[in-house]
Amino acid sequence: MSIINLIPPKNKKKQYVKKVANIVFSSLFVVTLILLITFSALYGINYYLEDALKNSKQELIEAEAKIANLKSVEEDVDNINAKIEKIDNLKSASINWKTIINDFNSSVPDQIRVDSLSIDWENQIISISGIGESRREIVKLQEKLNASEYFDGLSFSTSAYSNSHQAYSFSMTGEVIK
């Protein structure tokens, strides 16, 4: 089979140039379209990132304001905790007077009348004065108080018979155990 070319060379060249021009224009159109899509995508991403950055800055400002508010709350909590700790320390250092008085009252025999009781917590000294029917009752009081968990080393240095009360007046001192 043979091909006969009936198109004159001038027209053939025009067709060839047209074909090449069409390919070039088509390629330029595709490249331009790709560039346009790429730039549009980049612009959209840039817009999105700028918006996200603006929102992040706003959230950061709000978070810093919350932190500033929480600092005052934290200081209040620290103050309250310090007060609670002081109260706990005071409670642990407090004296259970009811127990001490009950123990003391249960140690005093019926034949003894206690006129004064003083406790010096700084020096841990107890002083008791009163009247007893006999020196034996005074010694019983001394022994019972020494057996107590709150008192130690009690001794009565003086006891004198009082004609007006018909009994022995005494004075007793010792240590207080906390």
pLDDT digits (tens, 9 = 90+) for 120-134: 878 888 888 899 888
Return the number of other C-beta atoms located less than 10 Å from residue 148's C-beta: 16
**Nearest CA to 153 among 162, 161, 143, 140?**
143
For the segment 21-76, what is each residue's pLDDT rounded down to a tens digit? Answer: 999 999 999 999 999 999 999 999 999 999 999 999 999 999 998 888 888 888 88
CA 100, CA 98: separation in Å to the nearest integer?
A: 6
Cβ distance 126 to 149 under 8 Å? Answer: no
Q: Decide if pLDDT at 160 tops 90.
A: no
C-alpha angle 155/157/160, rounded to 5°?
125
Both structure tokens of 2:
């043979």
